[in-house]
Amino acid sequence: MIKIENKAERVLLVGLETYENAANFVSTFEELASLAKTAGVEVVGVAVQKLDKPNARTYVGTGKLEEIAMTVDSREIDTVIFNSRLSPRQNVALEDELGVKVIDRMQLILDIFALRARSQEGMLQVEQAQLSYMKPRLAGRGVALSRQAGGIGSKGPGESRLELDRRHIEERIEDIDRKLQKIEKSRDLARKRRLESGVFKVGLVGYTNAGKSSILNALVNERQQQYEKNELFATLDATTKLIKVKDDFSVALTDTVGFIQDLPTELIKAFKSTLEESANVDLLVHVIDASNPNHEAHEQTVLHLLSELGMDKIPQLVVYNKMDLAPADFGYTLTPALELSIKSEQGPMVFRQAILQELNKIFVRFEIELPYDKSYLLPELKKISLLDNVVETETSYQITGKISPKLEWKLENL
């Protein structure tokens, strides 16, 4: 029997350094290579040019385009990936000139999301983002979108529908909207139950591959662990687990999709409901990869997106993770901050203690007397508050501790 091997697409990466993007050009171009690796393609070459501004028709200059065309032919390139967003006009012109599939950074990210989506909601959100992105690129393509239709490897839940005409795409987007609204109603009910339960909510946010999933997995048992890998966008779907912090007191810890520079607006819109899982928390934990040389740019990207999403007013704990892999002269820019190596033996304990310290800042102190005939309420009190001292007298428990301000009313019913 003849074994047929599926070879990875051979791609050429193209970057254009302009006055506007000069400050972060190197980091974003390196990130493009990581994105390509995550998508499973083989990078066989790069092409970089400096211009004052992009060419309106072909993005790069005429001479550079000729050079790229020769590279495409000589190295048998399947796909050319540009590091910036291309206009529909530029995309069409470049494919006509180069004779191969051309995609930009935005479509590459969309394709990776398509590969990573696992839940029904995640797959619908990605498909909606793909369709919204591709709709304006239908002009001049007729019914089929030719090489553009499939993105990397023609993968993802939406590629078969990307060959539909504009009217059908709009109908499909509306259909997805209806389905997502139903899912959102269920999410709202679950969120409402968590609010009513009074569980303190902690949200993990950060740049993709900063180690958010590693933190969550380090705090739960093996059966509860989620997918974790050293790659971009390993996690898309929001995951919430109860994490014991002190005695019987637990918090709900939520991990969700990581951020990235130039995150497509289509994805921000499509994943709004998922991102809101982190927006409705009592404490944000901003996780930063201390081993990444571009961590400062990553920090600013996350802070900018948190501001855009209206999450910058939530109390925040900054965590520099992977400190065991950080350079010896590492210096952090955001303060105060926790230095952490979550995969070390002491990592989980250090993280729990840091959360406990933040709770002590947010919670308010209380003193109550609990009669012995209401001693059955003591276990519940231990679950909703941080107890400092429980003293037994002749007739009652004298209890001191701290509790979330939104749960103070529960003390009146004890």
| Residue-wise pLDDT tens digits, 261-291 | 877 777 777 666 666 666 778 999 999 999 9
| Tens-digit pLDDT profile for residues 308-325 | 888 889 999 999 999 999
Q: Is 259 exposed, middle or buried (0-12, 13-18, 19+ CB in 10 A)?
A: buried
The answer to the question of whether 349 is labelled as a binding residue is no
pLDDT, mean of residues 320-333: 91
Residue range 56-69: mean pLDDT, rounded: 96
Is 234 annotated as contributing to ligand binding?
A: yes
Strand partners, 100: none
Q: What pLDDT sits at residue 331?
A: 83
Q: Is 324 annotated as a binding residue?
A: yes
Tell me: is residue 104 an annotated ligand-binding position.
no
- Residue 323 annotated in ligand binding: yes
Q: Is 258 annotated as a binding residue?
A: yes
* Residue 247, marked binder: no
256 known ligand binder: yes
Give the list of residues 6+ apart from residue 179 with CB closer than 8 angstroms, or none: 124
Determine if residue 77 is labeled as part of a ligand binding site.
no
For 173, the enclosing helix (H) or strand (E) is helix 166-197
Give the whole-angstrom CA distance, residue 86 versus residue 83: 9
- The answer to whether 30 touches 14, Cβ cutoff 8 Å, is no
| Residue 244 three-state SS | strand
379-408: average pLDDT: 92
Is 207 annotated in a binding site? The answer is yes
Whole-angstrom CA distances from 131 to 43, 85, 149, 263 are 26, 16, 10, 16
**Mean predicted confidence (pLDDT) in 62-81:** 96
Sign for the CA dihedral angle at 277, 279, 284, 286 comes to positive
Q: Is the pLDDT of residue 146 over 70?
A: no
Q: How far is CA 147 from CA 88, 96, 230, 310, in A?
A: 13, 11, 30, 38
343 annotated as ligand-binding:
yes
How far CA 156 is from CA of 95, 161, 241, 263, in Å, comes to 21, 10, 28, 18
Q: Is 322 annotated as a binding residue?
A: yes
Chain segment 161-216, per-residue pLDDT in tens: 445 567 788 888 899 989 988 887 877 776 677 666 678 999 999 998 899 989 99
CA dihedral of 66, 71, 77, 82, whole degrees rounded to 10: -60
Annotated binding-site residue? 212:
yes
